[in-house]
Structure 1
């Protein structure tokens, strides 16, 4: 915002001078305006790249989270893998076979 106000102030100051009559003052102010424009474009590109980076990372995380949630609801009652009855995981039997009541 500070750069934009400086640019507007310089443009209003530049409009007071005639390009033909006082070219040196006019061009000096124009160079300052051009430098401010370059700074503004650099700040905008940095801001856009940060927003893009954050948007992509969080967007992908949200999409994958929703996909996992939908798949876990859809396949809620189907087992992921089955162990033979000869394998005994006694302390963990109820926790492992939670969705299936088998």
Structure 2
């Protein structure tokens, strides 16, 4: 698959190779690839912005994987809380400052 990335100053082209286990045509394969990268990019962007995942200095043993799992659990809980119309990062701060809101996020 050939992908083109454009920004204000430059354009770059890259070729990626994929293996799949389903019968496909170009349209179906392109949809699968776009869908995968859309989910990946959105999830990792939120984890980095709301939780500072890329800046985490923890790197020993199983700690990075354990923290990543805890961040995803926290992200799911914060995303499910719909009474406050603010972003995930602000919900996280609000839960840290307000025990009543934290209880609401945790489902009490």
Q: TM-score, normalised by structure 2?
A: 0.28
Highest RCO, 1 vs 2 (Cα 8 Å, sep ≥ 6):
1
Structure with the larger helix share: 1
Of Structure 1 and Structure 2, the greater strand share is in 2
Q: Mark the structure with the bigger radius of gyration.
A: 1
Normalising by the residue count of structure 1, what TM-score does the alignment of the two structures yield? Answer: 0.29
